[in-house]
Copies of this chain bind each other. A is one copy, B any other.
Amino acid sequence: MGFLQSLGTYVSLLSLCSSGVADPFNGTKPQSYGMLFFPAFDSIDVFGPLEILQFLGYMHKIDVAFIAETLDPVSSLPLTENKFNSHTHTSLTPTHTIHTAPELDVLIVVGGPGMRSNSLNATIQFIKEKTPKVKQLITVCTGSGLAARSGVLDGKKATTHKTSWPGIIKFGPNTTWLPDKRWVEDDSGSPPIWSSSGVSSGMDLMLHFVETYYTLENATWIGKMMEYVRHTDPNDDPFAINGTTLLRV
């Protein structure tokens, strides 16, 4: 355990050094996270990274603020896609509004079909105002489209959900969209902005984040607890539009 911990720290530092990126957390471990969501969010966009933070919270002090426009429960039900009148969706209750959100080390913007809504002006304004105040911005799935709508992805490189690609990239005409990445790390400015591809890829980004800013051992243990086989190479995307498509069934 001691050896693995040392190895983890070494590899994390090596990873930071080799990438030439300054540590936005100045050697401390990020503690305060904000999970920003909205009506018709995607469940795993939230609960994939959250499960990782839940396990991480047994090893470090981690606080997640669940942030939405009001404190009312927010349903994941899409407004337009439910032609069979299925009942499969749940609600998530915010702990904070966009007006009461605490200081954050990391802001996570999730995706889901609702990110296209014309009624998210206050949420988009929150992303615009909050991003310069956090140490790291993470987007999951089409959350990068929502971030793009706020302008914070202008001049940045990013990726998004592959099935939604053509519609999402229109939200960021000044963003360099990279279609063949499992996730993208833009460390060119402050804060760094990391964007994942669709849904499950948010877990890969988050585990990589744990490996980078906590320890390799933490990331490995969480992956093992979740019995999740990580994709560790951001450049190897099995769902890339111009690369392979999923034929495994």
Contacts and interface: CB of A to CB of B under 8 A. Distances in A.
Interface of A: 42-44, 47-48, 50-51, 53-54, 56-64, 66, 73, 76, 81-93, 95, 161-163, 197-201, 211, 216, 219-220, 223-232, 238-239, 245-246, 248-249
Contacts of A85: 61
Nearest to A224: B246
Contacts of A54: 43, 76, 86, 88-89
A161 B58 contact: no
Counting chain B CB atoms within 10 Å of each CB, which of A57, A63, A89, A220 scores highest? A57
A230 B249 contact: yes
Nearest to A64: B88
28 contacts: A42-B51, A43-B50, A43-B51, A44-B48, A47-B47, A53-B88, A54-B76, A54-B88, A57-B82, A57-B84, A57-B86, A57-B87, A57-B88, A58-B83, A58-B84, A62-B84, A62-B87, A63-B86, A63-B87, A63-B88, A66-B90, A198-B225, A199-B225, A200-B228, A200-B229, A211-B249, A220-B246, A220-B249
Contacts of A232: 248-249
A51 B44 contact: yes
A145 B63 CA distance: 30
